Amino acid sequence: MSSVVESGGNILHSLRPSEIELSRVPTLERQSDGRVTPAPASDNGFSLPPVDGGKEAYLCLVGCFFAEALVWGFPFSFGVFQEYYSSTEPFASEPSGIAAIGTTAAGIMYMGSLLIFPLLQRYPQYRRHCNILGLPIMVTAMLLSSFANTVTQLILTQGLLYGIGGCLCYTPAILFLEEWFVRRKGLAFGVMWAGTGFAGVTVPFFMQAALNIWGYKTALRIWAVVLMVLAGPFTPFLKPRIPVQAVTQRAGRRIDLRFLGSIIFWIPQFVNIVQGLGYFIPSLYLPQYVTSIGLQPIVGTVALALFNGASVLGTILAGHLIDRFHHSTVTAMITLPSVISVFVFWGFGVNIPVIIVFSLLYGFSAGGFSTTWTGNVKEVRENIGGDPGVIFGFLAAGRGIGAIASGPLSAAILEKASSFKGHARWAYGTEYGGLIIFTGCTASVGVVSLLARRIGWL
């Protein structure tokens, strides 16, 4: 994972055997008579484009960034829709199910990776087809949801169907980026995942304005058109570095699942699942919380945008750090400010300045958590083995468990924790006091990885 093919020389630095084999595979050309023959090798003996740099690698990174933004921008901006649905009929009469809409979309995209990654590893020739298929499914989901009249219909369209399309569109991008970046993999994935924050800065304001002016039906139809129009120019950038014919030759081997029996995988996975239970709660409930304490709805939209915007910097910084430090160290560095932001700044956030500080600090710290997965994958491969896409799929599925569960779980906490209201001060004394405590406690589990390393388990 830390090796790199030198673009200007003929030296391979500590590549794994499989990586050496693939680095020497010639690019194939189709001749005028229909024959497929190897392309001429370059002077340095390798015909593949360089990793960690070069025009094609950076174009793929740009494509992945915008794929991330368009796919995940909606679920991570769902707090605006949640506040709207909660106060607008015919959905306001079913408040307990509204939170499950956004978390279902995110959860399906995460959980679907457990199935899609192994399939695309075995049948790599369908990776680009999968990527292209996902977009019309997402667009269809948005259009169908504009005709919904119940929360259940929204869960099935905005949640389930959108999640399926997003997973199909997004998963191949992960595999493509995995091929293009080796030594700078953490930073590359950090830049890619910053796309969510980038979209999260702009989408909430767009959605808020569209909902206020036209209502949810027109707003969702407009977003369907935006998805189709914006995704087109970046789709050609999403392509593999290694020829499909070469990868297909190796795709039939048995999937290595030995890592599932190792504590090296399960300790970070435990942290990943528990942290995911609380991570989505602030982005879901900030707009509602803001209006509940008497502030204007625009404050909630700004807070959500700041949270997403700060996560852009957070994911890039976490990606930079994960290339240099052990993943448990980076996880601990993320955990401390996350916990402080929740217990201190959200817990005492009853005015605009404190809420803004919370949004910025929480987004910057907690927003970079998924970037630590590249460190998890690296450690598992070095100590146990396994395909990076499959390992990543299991980590994403763990995140999906947290995402899906956090919707109904947060709704239940909000309903049962009404005893906090009026019996404590600051934000803890509101109906959201239970959610604040739950979010802070789940965030603090990040120290488990560092403790496990200290006693020699990692």
Which pLDDT tens digit goes with each residue over 396-453? 899 989 888 888 898 888 887 666 666 678 899 888 999 999 999 999 999 999 999 9
pTM: predicted TM-score of the whole model, two decimal places? 0.77
d(CA 391, CA 10): 31
Write the DSSP string, 287-318: HHHHHHTT--HHHHHHHHHHHHHHHHHHHHHH
Q: Which carries the bigger pLDDT value, residue 144 or residue 255?
A: 144
The token pair that represents 279 in the structure block? 């991570």
Mean pLDDT of 20-28: 40
Mean pLDDT of 5-17: 32
Q: What is the pLDDT of residues 153-184, one digit of tens each?
A: 999 999 999 999 999 998 898 888 888 888 88
Q: What are phi and psi of 274, to 5 degrees?
A: -65, -40
Q: What are phi and psi of 28, to 5 degrees?
A: -100, 140
Task: Count Cβ atoms below 10 Å from residue 77 Cβ, excluding itself.
Answer: 28
- Whether residue 67 is predicted with pLDDT greater than 80 in this model: the reply is yes
d(CA 266, CA 269): 5
Q: Which of 119-133, 331-345, 372-386 has the lowest mean pLDDT?
A: 119-133
Q: What is the pLDDT of residues 79-97, one digit of tens each?
A: 888 889 988 888 988 877 8
Angstrom CA distances, 223 to 200, 277, 291, stand at 14, 28, 25
Q: Which residues, at least 6 apart from 21, have a Cβ–Cβ distance to it below 8 Å?
A: 250
Closest by CA to 375, choosing from 336, 442, 454, 320, is 320
CB 48 within 8 A of CB 23: yes
Mean pLDDT of 223-248: 82
The pLDDT score that the predictor gives to residue 290 is 92
Burial of 39 (0-12, 13-18, 19+ CB in 10 A): exposed
Task: Count Cβ atoms below 10 Å from residue 30 Cβ, excluding itself.
Answer: 9
CATH superfamily of 55-454: MFS general substrate transporter like domains (1.20.1250.20)
- For CA atoms 90, 95, 101, 104, the dihedral sign is negative
d(CA 257, CA 236): 33
Write the DSSP string, 388-415: HHHHHHHHHHHHHHHHHHHHHHHHHHHH
Mean pLDDT of 117-130: 85
The pLDDT score that the predictor gives to residue 343 is 96
Q: Which residues, at least 6 apart from 431, have a Cβ–Cβ distance to it below 8 Å?
A: 292, 414, 417, 418, 420, 421
Angstrom CA distances, 58 to 19, 191, 216, 237, 313, stand at 20, 11, 37, 9, 19
Q: Which residues, at least 6 apart from 229, have a Cβ–Cβ distance to it below 8 Å?
A: none
The token pair that represents 188 in the structure block? 């590359």
